[in-house]
Amino acid sequence: MIIGSHVNYGSESLLGCVKQTLSYNANAFMFYTGAPQNSIRKKIDEENTKKAQELLKENNIPMTNVICHAPYIINLANKAKPEAWDFAVNFLKEELHRCELLGVSYIVLHPGSCVKEERETALKNICDGLNEVVDNDTKVMILLETMAGKGTECGINISELKQILNGVIFKNKLGVCLDTCHLNDSGIDISSFDNYLDEFDREIGLDKVKCVHLNDSLNPIGSHKDRHANIGYGTIGFESLINVAYNPRLKDVPKILETPYIEDHAPYYYEIKSILEKKFNDHLKEDVLK
C-alpha cells in the first residue's frame, strides 16, 4: 500500500515533509510549495533537498510517492482578465520548475473555475493554458484533479476531464488525480467505485490515474460542496474508502489523505493505521488529542 497524507512544507521544506511522513508511518506524501491560497514562494534550498532525498532513500520511499499540489489561486479557465490568466500560466510554469529542482514528478492541479466564462470556453482556456505550460521537455506530470462541482468548477465529470486531456498537445505529460470526496460530492457513488473505474477506463484509461486523494465527505452524494471529513466519519464511510484504498486496479497509485485536522492536530498517524489494519477507529479524536 502506497499511503500518506498532506504534510507541511513550511518549517523545514522538503526535509520537514519527509520527517512528518515518517512520523505518520507513511510511505508517500503531498505538499504545497507555500500557502495554497497565495503565490509567495521561497527559493528551493539545494542542501535541504539533498538531505530530504537521502532520508527518503534510507527509508526505501521512491520519489514517485511524492506529490506536489499547485495552489488554488491558479485558474486557467478564466481569461476575462488576461493579466490574471497570464499570471496563472507563469505561476504554474514556475511551480513545475520548483518540482523539477525538488526531484518531484507529479503536481496536482485543480483544472479551474469558469467564473463568468461559458463552460465550453472555460474548458478551452484550460487547454490553452496547459499548452502554454507543457512541452516535450516537461519533466513533471500535471495531474488534473476530479472536482466536486462547487461554484463554477471545471473537471467535474469524466467527459470534462476527457475534453481537457484531448485538447492538450503533449497528452503524455498529463494525468488525473481522483479525489473520493470530490467524486462523491459530484454525484458518484463510491460504494460502487468499480463502476466508476470501468467508465473511466473506457473513456480515458486507468493508466492516467497517478494519485488518489482518500477523503471522506461531510455532505451527501451530489451535494457539490467539497468539505472533507475524517476517514469513516463522513457520508462515504469506512468500508467504501477501504475498498478504494485496496482496489487492485489502483494498487501502485499513491493514496493521499487530505482529511481535516482535529483541534489543530494532524490525524494522519491514526487514520493511516486504521486503513492499514482495515479497522475503523471510533475513538480517533481521543487518540489524536492524547
Compare residues 95 and 179 and give the one whose CB is closer to Zn ion. 179
For the CB of residue 179, give the shortest distance to Zn ion in the complex, in Å.
4
CA-CA distance, 141 to 36, in Å (whole number)? 19
Contact present, 155 and 146 (Cβ < 8 Å): yes
Element spanning 47, H or E: helix 46-58
Nearer to Zn ion, 173 or 213 (CB): 213
Gap between the Cα atoms of 12 and 67, Å rounded: 17
Distance of closest approach, residue 253 Cβ to Zn ion, in angstroms: 14
Give the nearer residue to Zn ion in terms of CB position, either 79 or 213. 213
Length, in residues, of the chain: 290
Residues that bind Zn ion (CB under 5 A): 179, 213
Taking the complex as a whole, the smallest distance from the CB of residue 186 to Zn ion amounts, in Å, to 12
Tell me whether residue 15 or residue 156 sits nearer to Zn ion (CB atom).
156
32 phi and psi angles, rounded to 5 deg: -100, 145
Q: Which amino acid is at 30?
A: M
Q: Measured at CB, which residue is nearest to Zn ion? A: 213
CB of 182 to Zn ion, least distance (A): 6
Helix (H) or strand (E) holding 195: helix 193-203
What beta strand segments (E) does 158-238 contain? 174-179, 209-213, 216-217, 228-229
The answer to whether residues 115 and 150 touch, using CB atoms and an 8 Å cutoff, is no
Between residues 51 and 150, which has the closer beta carbon with respect to Zn ion?
150
Minimal distance, residue 30 CB to Zn ion, in Å: 9
The smaller minimum CB distance to Zn ion, of residues 117 and 185, is found at 185
Compute the least distance from the CB of residue 48 to Zn ion, in Å.
Answer: 26
Give 32 or 238: the residue with its C-beta nearer to Zn ion: 32
Cα–Cα nearest to 77, from 156, 187, 189, 19: 156
**178-214 CB burial, b ≥16 within 10 A, e <16:** bbbbbbbbbebebeebeebbeebeeebeeebbbbbbb
DSSP single-letter state for residue 249: G
